[in-house]
């Protein structure tokens, strides 16, 4: 079942927690890739210094002020695309950053995209649980670019699905990779999952 718009029109921390275990799926000309969400971060409003809405409305962050249930994609560090799900009511700028997936479909295509994006020397290819570990890596693996910015997540080709099934232990920690806003424990992960990014998990 594809998550409906109402799912996203709620407090961002609730949406973040409930996105764990859901499946992000992208159908492209090359094929379909999908992964189970295991790590997210919440970015909430103009008072959150790490949120792109902190400076107020601008051209880039306009999707955050729009309706919930759409993708907000942007280029980060001039190298990586990062994908968010816009939450809360129209006019209330907030979103959930998808940071890591457990690959579930189209692993071959993910491997080809990762290899194409980066083949420095004769490095070993990423193992399966590394294919979508990290927000920049998962957009490469799923073929998500600026072309998907502002696209609805409630209908194909880019959707988030509820496939049922149990979700393991959930853990809240401070967001990572930030210089501000680290006081909020707004990073939500499936504890101990191999595909979660950040300092080397064991």
Partner DNA sequence: CGTTCGATGCACT
Partner DNA sequence: GTGCATCGAACGT
CB of 134 to DNA, least distance (A): 2
Closest CB to DNA among 145 and 163? 145
Closest CB to DNA among 13 and 164? 13
Q: Are strands 94-105 and 23-28 parallel, antiparallel or unpaired?
A: unpaired
- Strand pairing partners for 27? 32
- How far apart (Å, rounded) are the C-alpha atoms in residues 26 and 5? 18
Closest CB to DNA among 3 and 51? 51
Closest CB to DNA among 68 and 134? 134
**Which stretches of the chain bind DNA, using CB under 7 A?**
41, 43, 50-52, 55, 58-61, 64, 72, 75-80, 82, 84, 95, 97, 118, 120, 123, 126, 134-137, 175-180, 197, 199-200, 202
Vertex 70 angle, CA 110 and 36, to 5°: 35
CB of 199 to DNA, least distance (A): 6
- How far apart (Å, rounded) are the C-alpha atoms in residues 157 and 167? 25
Query: What is the residue-wise DSSP string for 106-162?
Result: -HHHHHHHHHHH---TTPPPPPGGGTTBSHHHHHHHHT--GGGTT-BSEETTEEEE-
CB of 169 to DNA, least distance (A): 22
CB of 1 to DNA, least distance (A): 26
| Beta carbons within 10 angstroms of residue 165's beta carbon | 9
Closest CB to DNA among 76 and 163? 76
CB of 104 to DNA, least distance (A): 19
């Amino acid at each position: 079942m594809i998550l409906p718009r109402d799912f996203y029109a709620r407090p961002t921390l609730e949406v973040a927690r409930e996105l764990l275990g859901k499946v992000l799926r992208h159908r492209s000309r090359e094929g379909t890739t999908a992964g189970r969400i295991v790590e997210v971060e919440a970015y909430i409003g103009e008072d959150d210094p790490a949120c792109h809405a902190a400076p107020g409305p601008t051209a880039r962050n306009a999707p955050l002020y729009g309706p919930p249930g759409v993708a907000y994609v942007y280029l980060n560090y001039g190298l990586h695309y990062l994908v968010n799900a816009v939450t809360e009511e129209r006019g209330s700028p907030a979103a959930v950053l998808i940071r890591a997936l457990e690959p579930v479909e189209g692993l071959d295509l993910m491997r080809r995209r990762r290899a194409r994006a980066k083949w420095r020397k004769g490095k070993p290819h990423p193992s399966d649980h590394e294919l979508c570990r990290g927000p920049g890596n998962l957009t490469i693996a799923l073929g998500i670019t600026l072309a998907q910015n502002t696209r609805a997540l409630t209908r194909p080709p880019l959707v988030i699905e509820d496939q049922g099934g149990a979700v393991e232990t959930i853990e809240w920690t401070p967001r990572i990779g930030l210089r501000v806003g680290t006081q909020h424990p707004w990073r939500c992960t499936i504890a101990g999952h191999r595909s979660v990014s950040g300092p080397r998990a064991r």
